[in-house]
Amino acid sequence: MENTSTFQKAIETVEALSPEEQTILIDIIQNRLREHKRQELLQDITEAEQNYLSGNFKQGSVADLMAELDE
């Protein structure tokens, strides 16, 4: 068992929990993941706002964007 990965150990630990405890753990993990994604989105929004306010952005049409992506 010395070579067991951390992930495998976590799975074994979860499997040792009761079904009710596993459900609670899943809810907790899902809530934490949602909060993490919210924080990432807030950081992206803040960065975009700062870029906009500093004039660090480009304007153009969808065609301009597609042409730039093809380059």
pTM for this prediction: 0.66
pLDDT at 2: 56
Query: What span, in angstroms and rounded, lies between the C-alpha atoms of 49 and 26?
Result: 34
| Domain-located, residue 1 | no
pLDDT at 12: 96
Amino acid at 60: G
Domain extent at residue 35:
6-70
Q: How far is CA 14 from CA 5, 22, 32, 47, 70, in A?
A: 14, 6, 17, 38, 47
Distant-in-sequence, close-in-space partners of 4: CB < 8 Å, separation ≥ 6: 12
Total domains in the fold of the chain: 1
Q: pLDDT digit string (tens) for 50-71?
A: 999 999 888 889 998 898 888 8
Query: What span, in angstroms and rounded, lies between the C-alpha atoms of 67 and 64?
Result: 5
Q: pLDDT digit string (tens) for 14-46?
A: 999 999 999 999 999 999 999 999 999 999 999
| Domain-located, residue 14 | yes
